[in-house]
Structure 1
Amino acid sequence: MSLSSALNTAVTGLSTIKSQIGVVSGNVSNAQTPGYSRKVVNLTTPSAGGQPQAALVSSITRAVAPEIQKDYYGALASFQQLSVAADNAQGLADALDASNGTGSAATLSTLMTNYEDAVKQLEATPEDTALKGLVVQRGKELCSEINRLSGLQSKLQTQAQQDLQTNVGTLNDAAQQIAKLNTQIVSQKAAGNPTGDLEDLRDAEVTKMAGLVGVNTIVDSNGSMSVYTQTGSQIVAGSSTQTFTYNPTTNTITNGAGSDVTDGFHTGAITADLNYLDGSAAALSSNDPNVGTLAKFFNQLDSLATNVATVVNNAYDDPATAGVEQFFTFNAADPSGTLAVDPALVTTPANVDATRMGAVQQAMETTQLTAAQVNPAGAANGLQISNVTVFGLMNGVLAYHAKAADENETNRDTADNLQNALNQKMLNLTAVDVDTEMANLQTLQNNYAALAQIMNAVSQMFDQIISVGS
């Protein structure tokens, strides 16, 4: 090898190592940066006259694990859906005081028992006017709690709708960011520039999107990414995006063309809230407590109010009189209807018929409700119980939501473990190992120093040759 060739090889080698040192240094400095993937210098060894030359940088790419990443996106969507479902279920259980964790009876159970106890006391001492007032008071307290729970409908519905609006907005924003990054990546790649950092930013937006809807991605040869829902609805194609809109009136999602694409969203956080708010006949007939959840909840309260009023009123009505006596008033068909103690008894508690208290107490303890009474076909509520008393119905409602909250929490934790495991597996392949990078950096620095010495030696030899010639 001539001195000029040796010098050229050393200079080229120094340039290549300098590029490698820069990439490795960048890896080390970004080791703790969320979403950063390890960058890799790819080398090529050209030849001249059949002889290998100094290695050159052919490209700078990033470490990727596409198959694991795909599985991670699916696991993330499942976790986010179960997480939202768990929060929704726990919210209803908390409203019912169904899983207070203290071992004490739920508020609804306590108030029902208090009403029955007052009835028993009046049965034992029918002449006590004060006990008549107590029965009325305990009845009002029971009504107040059921009505309070029924009154949560607007608040819970509005909150879920607002969450959906926010999540759909986040989905649209992420889609727009991916489209912008697609344009930049295609341009930089065409110019032969590294695109790893831009791809990291794009993956961060895809991850954000995956938790909302669940996605599949396809990357073209030019570096542009297309994003679809898991059912094939297109979200991003190159620099173009779909803009989605949530309609709270119909609980549907439409695309920019106005087409209903709700069926394309079957996993992720958005799906969880869509299912929660779904009041369709199909949702109400579903055995899944996370589908039609809100409508089932309020139908259960209506069932409880209707059956309490019916059982008590049937027993309170004196068959020996021509008129119809009632203790409670309730009309489930009236959207604004509330369970209440008969206004005449509230105004004059002394009018309570103490002679009917024994029948009332007996009816509450023994009247068996059919499946159709518990879970009416026209207002399905998901309760799969029958031949229970009003106490059994109340306990069934509490147990339904306590179980739903518990199962959702368990399923969410399982999904969380899976997505964390997949994320760690992906990081093991793509993240920066500082110890390894520092070792690489030391090796590169040593090589750089060795090439610098060679270059210095060649330079001295040139000087000697020039000196001899002069």
Structure 2
Amino acid sequence: MSISHAINAAQTGLKVSGLRADVVATNVANASTPGYVRRSIILSETLVGGRTSGVSSTGVVRATDSGLTSERMTLSSNVAQSSLMASTWQVLSSRIGDDAEGTGLFSKLSNFESALSAAVASPESGTQLSALLDAANSAVNELNSLSQLVTQQRTEADREIADGVNVVNAALKQVEELNGLLAGMDRTTAQAAALMDDRQRALDTISEYLPIEAVPRDGGTIDVVTSEGVYLVAGTAKQLEFTPGNAFGPNMTVDNGALSKLMVGDLELTPGASSYAAVSSGMFGALFTLRDADLPAFGAQLDTIANDLVSRLSNDAIDPTKVAGEFGLFVDTGTPGDPGLAGRIDINAQIDPTQGGSIWRLRDGIGAASEGPPGNNSILSAMSDAFTAIQSMNANGIEGSFSATDLVAHVASMTGQTRISHETALSAASTQHDLMMEAELSETGVDIDSQMQDLLAIEQAYAANARVIEIANQMLQRLMEI
């Protein structure tokens, strides 16, 4: 090799070492940047006239593993779904309660039962009658509040679906635009690597709402397709369609047209729909399940509890003074039989002083013209017997024989079991996701220690090439002196 060839080869080595150092510095600087994928320089031998003439860089390559990334995106959808379901059922479980010492519905009904027993023992006590009325009001208010919570949660789910549709549509459009940019450029450049990172971030955003897969196409572009086989990006981005509701009622459903479906063109993606395209996971899976299935079912169980209270204490055998068939202590202020009774249940106005009634009618009867003997506890005793009587039930997923308090305890237990089930699913999904994330990072992420080792090797290569040039320079000077 001539001196000139040696100098040229060393110069290419210096140039490539500088490029490699820049890439390592970029990797280290972005080690904690979400969505950043490790870069490396592609090296190749430079040949001139069939002879080696140094080294050159032919581009930048991203460390990728499409299999791990695809599996991680699927697990991201599962985690998003499980997380929302678990958090929602945790709220519902805590509100209904499972402890008489708590503040939930179970506690309110337990307090009412205790106050009723105390009133039976001391019917002449105005304090006990007031305590009984307060306990009844607390139970009613808690049922009303829980019913309102169900409506609020359904409304929020509907709004979050609309927000999610906007997010997904924007991300799909971004994928389309990035596809266009990548198709027209050298994909071995640092700029192309950054665009690919941006595109993967957009895919990660979409995968939180519904499970998707990226299908590579010619020219560096990709198509985006749901796990069910619906193309969301095929050259151009399609748009999800959803219309949020303005108001919510217990009788509003997708089937009766009161609530919007999730559509892509003529295909229905609504989770739970009979369409093959129906979404099975992700935030959309959780939000639609809550809005259309879980929350309405929970509301129906609250209605069952409210109906049990109304019917038990409206039994004509309890109070001989009231008109047969009329309500007792608890009343339905709407149309009997309509859904949403838990939100309408109230105290009988004849008993409630705040509504113009008289509290002594708790003891003497709703239809009593005047106060009776203060020691007469027959009506209160009959109310207690009706409240604690074991009755069979098979409605809205509730089956068995219960007293009024036992019924609430049973629903609280069912709610708690559902919460635990979703928390278990979340734990399993999170564990799998974390393991897959670690596996993906080990293949595509930035290992600082490894990058520092590479930097030391680059430093040695740079020093060696610089030494070659120095020696060649000394040789040339000696030749000039001869």
The corresponding residue for 2:96 is: 96
Deviation at 1:336, TM superposition (A): 6.8
Could you say which residue in structure 2 is the equivalent of 1:234?
Answer: 231
Which residue of structure 2 lines up, in the alignment, with residue 253 of structure 1? 262
CA shift for structure 1 position 360: 2.3
Residue 120 of structure 1 and its aligned partner are, at CA, apart by: 2.8
C-alpha offsets along residues 355-413 of structure 1, whole Å, 9 cap, x if unaligned? Answer: 23323222222231221xxx1xxxx3x33x31222222111111122222233223212
**Which residue matches 1:175?**
172
Q: 1:332 to 1:294 in 2, by over 3 A?
A: farther
Tell me which residue corresponds to 2:416. 402
* CA distances 1:309-332 after superposition (whole Å, capped 9, x unpaired): 112222654579984463322255
Q: Distance in 1 between matches of 2:447 and 2:324?
A: 85
Cross-structure match for 2:330: 328
CA contact (8 A) 2:300 2:339 kept: no
| Counterpart amino acid of residue 22 in structure 2 | G
**Aligned-partner residue type, residue 350 of structure 1:** W
**1:192, distance to aligned residue in structure 2 (A):** 6.3
C-alpha distance in structure 1 between counterparts of 2:101 and 2:188, whole Å: 70
Q: Does 1:61 align with 2:61?
A: yes
Distance 1:201 1:298 in 2: 43
Aligned to 1:415: 429
Which residue does the alignment assign to 2:23?
A: 23
Question: What's 1:150 paired with?
Answer: 147
Which residue in the other structure is 2:286 paired with? 272
Conserved 8 A contact 1:80-1:211: yes
Residues 460 and 430 (structure 1), Cα distance of their counterparts in 2 relative to 1, 3 Å cut: same
Separation in 2, partners of 1:148, 1:30? 49
CA distance in 1, matches of 2:192, 2:429: 33
SS across alignment from 2:58? strand
Displacement of 1:89 after TM fit?
0.9
Over 3 Å counting, the alpha-carbon distance change for 1:134 and 1:32 in structure 2 is closer
- Secondary structure of the 1:45 match is strand
Using the TM superposition, give the Cα deviation of residue 268 of structure 1 relative to its aligned residue in structure 2, in angstroms.
0.6
CA contact (8 A) 1:251 1:274 kept: no
TM-score normalised by length of structure 2: 0.83
Which stretch of the first structure deviates more once superposed, 311-320 or 174-183? 311-320
The structure-2 alpha-carbon separation of the partners of 1:467 and 1:348, relative to structure 1 and needing over 3 Å to count, comes to same
Matches within 5 A, 1:37-436: 37-48=37-48, 50-98=50-98, 104-126=101-123, 131-189=128-186, 195-238=192-235, 240-249=236-245, 250-255=259-264, 257=265, 259-262=267-270, 263-278=277-292, 292-314=293-315, 316-318=317-319, 323-324=324-325, 326-330=328-332, 331-334=335-338, 338-346=344-352, 347-351=357-361, 352-353=364-365, 354-371=377-394, 375=395, 380=396, 382-383=397-398, 385-436=399-450
Q: State the alpha-carbon separation in 2 of the partners of residues 67 and 122 from structure 1.
A: 69
Give SS of 2:61's match: strand
Distance 1:206 1:169, change over 3 A: same
After superposition, the C-alpha distances for 1:233-269 in whole angstroms (9 at most, x for unaligned) are 222234x2122132334242123x3643324421111
Taking structure 1 as reference, are residues 137 and 449 closer, same or farther at Cα in structure 2, changes over 3 Å only? closer
* Partners of 1:75 and 1:418 within 8 A in 2: yes
Deviation of 1:341 after TM superposition, in Å, equals 2.7
2:13 maps to a residue whose letter is: G
Q: Confirm or deny: 8 A CA contact 1:217 1:228 kept in the other structure.
A: yes
CA distance in structure 2 between the partners assigned to 1:270 and 1:322 by the alignment: 51
Conservation of the 8 A alpha-carbon contact between 1:210 and 1:268? yes
Aligned length: 441
Query: Of 439, 442, 447, which residue of structure 1 is paired with 2:461?
Result: 447
Task: Assess if the C-alpha contact under 8 Å between 2:60 and 2:188 holds in 1.
Answer: no
TM superposition shift of 1:79: 0.6
How far the C-alpha of 1:62 sits from its partner, in A, is 1.1
Deviations 1:181-215 (A, max 9, x none): 22222222269665222211221221122111121
Residue 262 of structure 2: SS of its match in structure 1? strand
Q: Quick check: 1:80–1:269 contact (8 Å CA) kept in 2? A: yes
Evaluate the alpha carbon distance shift between residue 391 and residue 315 of structure 1 in structure 2; reply closer, same or farther with a 3 A threshold. Answer: farther
User: Residue type matched to 2:346 in 1?
Assistant: A
More displaced stretch, 435-444 vs 258-267? 258-267
Q: For residue 72 of structure 1, report the CA deviation from its aligned partner.
A: 0.8
Q: CA deviation at 1:4?
A: 3.3
Matched residues in 1 for 2:117 and 2:95: separation?
Answer: 29
Structure 2 partner of 1:285: none
Q: Deviations over 1:218-246 (max 9, x none)?
A: 122411121122112222234x2122132
Residue 216 of structure 1 deviates from its aligned partner by 0.5
2:253 corresponds to: none
For 1:37, what is the secondary structure of its paired residue? coil
Structure 1 partner of 2:371: none
Distance 2:423 2:95 in 1: 17
User: Cα distance, 1:460 vs. partner?
Assistant: 4.6
Shift of 1:78: 0.6
- The one-letter code sitting in structure 1 at the alignment partner of 2:329 is F
CA–CA distance in 1 between the matches of 2:437 and 2:93?
Answer: 32
Change (3 A) 1:190 1:156: closer
Q: Say which structure is richer in helix.
A: 1
Long gaps (5+) in structure 2:
246-258, 271-276, 366-376
* Segment drifting more, 451-460 vs 29-38: 451-460
User: Structure 1 stretch 66-75 or stretch 325-334: which is displaced more?
Assistant: 325-334
> Among the aligned pairs, what percent are the same residue?
23
Q: Given that residues 13 and 54 in structure 1 are in contact (C-alpha distance below 8 angstroms), is that contact kept between their aligned partners in structure 2?
A: yes
Q: For the Cα contact (< 8 Å) 1:316–1:360, is it kept in 2?
A: no
- 1:283 is aligned to none
What is the Cα deviation at residue 277 of structure 1?
Answer: 0.5
Q: Secondary structure at the match of 1:231?
A: coil
My pick for the range that moved more, 21-30 or 457-466, is 457-466
Report if aligned partners of 1:316, 1:356 keep a CA contact under 8 Å in 2: no
Distance 1:28 1:116, change over 3 A: closer
Give RMSD over aligned pairs: 2.7
